[in-house]
A and B are shown apart, each in its own frame.
Chain A
């Protein structure tokens, strides 16, 4: 659209700007990846060192014999189980929102959105009291439940769009062929929506993995995920930045790879289905 055949100097200018943008966006992350392979001396050099002889000591130092390996496992358990719960509970709800009509449907749908938008700090305080009285505070269950609750609305909003894209006639054909509505959903519609379900699941996983505040308030010791554990590495003096960097890389690299897998659906997920990527 809007004549793409642009003049040469403008194209060069555009690419220069975009190149700067990419450099600015990437360099900080690149720097922490480099830092994770640096010795103390290279790290604390006052002039930034881009070339250095790498050390691989930082990774074993934090992940072998230290507490960070269990934290990574905790992160994994929390993210996987909250994602699984989200999809199991959220996908049928999304399907109903996409297909059925009942009084108050749209209000209920909006209600899910407001839960997503709720500031974690406002919910975390009573949730903290609630889990304390249940005796679930400082357990992994508390975080799983919290993450499932706040990701649920994302699943409902995102998946509704995916289901709405499947023609209603397919359900009707399945019902005419003798399946129940539920059977049509489980055996016909859900497989058709599989790519959308997968993308939603990956996004849920990422958001749960990256989440900090709920976990920070609900689990102080046992069952801490990585996000809660990493800041503990930073001390006012003598922070082992090489090790911090190593943990940070381990905590982020898998997520970035996941991100690339669902890039097409990402914009859609992060805008609650309002914009298609």
Chain B
């Protein structure tokens, strides 16, 4: 078959557009890539490098000599504080995210089923998650002040709190308190995402299940949960990654204390680096945090692509 003469007339222009697609396309991505490489990837490799040295700003004799895996050895074997903070962070992530999911999903279901005009309600629920974490920390410090905190007063009034104490300096209360505050701030996020997910579900499988004779519980278990699975995975992973990185709120509220009772791994990394100025070892700690997040992140990516539909704005046929 021969090409139509018309094509050859415009081929100059077509080739130009084609070149733009193949050559200039990547060029438009380049500035963004360079910026990210210099200021985010560069630091990552610098961190890996630093982790293999003995650099310290607190000790003039340690100028950054190469020490191999000494820092990691110390991290794995001789640092109970690190493992304490690591396990504490895992506990924080699991408890907070699980509670946020259960409460947030329940609220989303209620809104979905019983509220027709949802705009005002969702707007009000947005407020906690959009506050700066620093502000959230301060607000809760004020609310949990021992002698005049509003929340303390009401907790005591209903008998949930025995003594007139500052919750954030009580060893047995401080961890539940920071978990509760994270739940307070981020449950609305789960609610909003799950609500968006519920609204996007097709109607017909539910009607089909009703016609097939399924009751409300079976419809929930057999139809709704499977259809929501990608969105549930998304919400859990996003929250999990974020909670694992948690720093601001807790740092403002407790600074990791009392003692190390709320010293999440980010706060521990901060302390090693910017209080002890033990930068070589600090980099090793930071690397461990990064590693966990990276693992969660690749799971997230798989989950997102798993749920990808042409309508979701993500590439449908892209290979994971």
Give A residues with C-beta under 8 Å from B: 1-2, 4, 6, 10-11, 14-15, 17-18, 21-22, 24-26, 28-29, 31-32, 35, 43-48, 89-90, 92-93, 95-97, 99-102, 106, 108, 110-115, 117-123, 125-130, 145-146, 148-150, 152-153, 156, 160-162, 164-165, 175, 178, 180-182, 206, 209-210, 212-213, 217, 227, 230-231, 234, 241, 244-245, 248, 251-252, 255-256, 259-260, 263, 266-268, 270-277
Asked if B91 lies at the interface with its beta carbon under 8 angstroms from chain A, I say no
Give bound CA distance, A145 to B43, whole Å: 13
Residues of chain B with a CB closer than 8 A to A106's CB: 315, 318-319
What residues of chain A lie closer than 8 Å to B124, measured between beta carbons? 22, 25-26
With A18-B111, A180-B16 in contact, is A234–B141 under 8 Å at CB?
yes
Contacting B113 at CB < 8 Å: which of A4, A148, A272? A4
Q: Are B31 and A266 in contact (CB under 8 A)?
A: no
Which of B43, B140, B216 has the most C-beta atoms of chain A within 10 angstroms of its own C-beta?
B43
Q: Check A122–B44 contact: CB distance below 8 A.
A: yes
Q: Provided the pairs A22-B124, A96-B25, A274-B304 are in contact, do residues A244 and B138 lie with their beta carbons within 8 angstroms?
A: yes
Q: Which of B11-49 contact A (CB under 8 A)?
A: 13, 16-17, 20-22, 24-26, 28-29, 31-33, 35-36, 39-44, 46-47
Known: A117-B296, A210-B131. 17 other contacts (CB 8 A): A2-B206, A18-B107, A18-B115, A28-B184, A45-B148, A46-B148, A93-B33, A106-B318, A113-B297, A115-B41, A119-B289, A125-B286, A150-B40, A212-B247, A234-B138, A260-B126, A275-B193
Are A248 and B113 interface neighbours, CB within 8 A?
no
What is the CA–CA distance of A150 and B38 in the complex, to the nearest angstrom? 12
The answer to whether B312 has its CB under 8 Å from any CB of chain A is: yes
Q: Which residue of A lies closest to B157 (CB)?
A: A47
Residue in B closest to A149 when the chains form the complex, CB atoms:
B39
- Contact residue among B113, B132, B269, B279 (Cβ-Cβ distance under 8 Å from A122): B269
Task: Tell me whether A119 and B244 are in contact (CB under 8 A).
Answer: yes
Q: Can you list, as one digit per residue, whether each of B199-217 has a CB less than 8 Å from chain A (1) or not (0)? A: 0110100110000000010
Check A277 against B192 for contact (C-beta < 8 Å).
yes
Are A93 and B196 interface neighbours, CB within 8 A?
Answer: no
Q: State the Cβ distance, B224 to closest chain A Cβ, in Å.
A: 8
Cα A61 to Cα B281 in complex, Å, equals 43
Q: Are A126 and B133 in contact (CB under 8 A)?
A: no
Nearest chain-B residue to A229 (Cβ)? B134
B-side interface size class: 35 or more
Cross-chain contact A118 with B40 (CB below 8 angstroms): yes
Residues of A within 8 A of B137 (CB): 231
Q: Is the CB of B142 within 8 A of A273?
A: no
Q: How far is the CB of A146 from chain B (nearest CB, A)?
A: 7
Chain B binding surface SS class? helix
List chain B residues, Cβ under 8 A from A175. Answer: 17
Is B307 in the interface zone, CB < 8 Å from A?
yes
Cα distance, A101 to B317, chains bound together (Å): 13
Cβ A156 vs Cβ B32 within 8 A: yes
Min distance, Cβ A120 to any Cβ of chain B, angstroms: 7
Shortest A204–chain B CB gap in Å is: 13
Closest 4 CB pairs of A and B: A161-B313, A100-B25, A126-B43, A210-B132
B105 adjacent to chain A (CB < 8 Å):
no
Residues of A within 8 A of B234 (CB): 271, 274-275
Q: Does B56 contact A (CB under 8 A)?
A: no
- Chain B residues, CB < 8 A from A100: 21-22, 25-26
Q: Which residues of B are interface residues toward A (Cβ below 8 A)? A: 13, 16-17, 20-22, 24-26, 28-29, 31-33, 35-36, 39-44, 46-47, 50, 107, 110-111, 113-116, 119, 121-128, 130-135, 137-143, 147-148, 150-151, 153-154, 184, 188-189, 192-193, 196-197, 200-201, 203, 206-207, 216, 219, 231, 234-235, 238, 241, 244-245, 247-248, 252, 266, 269-270, 273-274, 279, 282-283, 286-287, 289-290, 293-294, 296-297, 300-301, 304, 307, 311-315, 318-319
Are A93 and B143 touching (Cβ within 8 A)? no
- Report if A165-B313 is in contact (Cβ < 8 Å); known contacts: A29-B139, A93-B29: yes
A residues in contact with B197, CB < 8 Å: 275
* A274: chain B residues within 8 A (beta carbon): 234, 304, 307, 312-314
Measured between alpha carbons, how far is A1 from B315 in the docked complex, in Å?
28
Q: Which of B133, B142, B184, B248 contacts A25 (CB 8 A)?
A: B184
Partner of B42 from the list A130, A241, A255 (CB cut-off 8 Å) is A130
Bound together, the chains give a CA A45 to CA B145 distance in angstroms of 12
Q: How far is the CB of B142 from chain A (nearest CB, A)?
A: 6
| Complex CA distance for A126 and B283, rounded to whole angstroms | 8
Bound: A78/B253 CA distance, A = 25
Contacts of B116 in A (CB 8 A): 4
Q: Is the CB of B279 within 8 A of A129?
A: yes
- Closest residue of chain A to B147, judged by CB? A46
**CB pair A117 B241 closer than 8 Å:** yes
- Min distance, Cβ B244 to any Cβ of chain A, angstroms: 7
A156 cross-chain contacts in B, Cβ below 8 A: 32
Is the Cβ of B17 less than 8 Å from the Cβ of A180?
A: yes
Measured CA separation A164–B207 after assembly (Å): 31
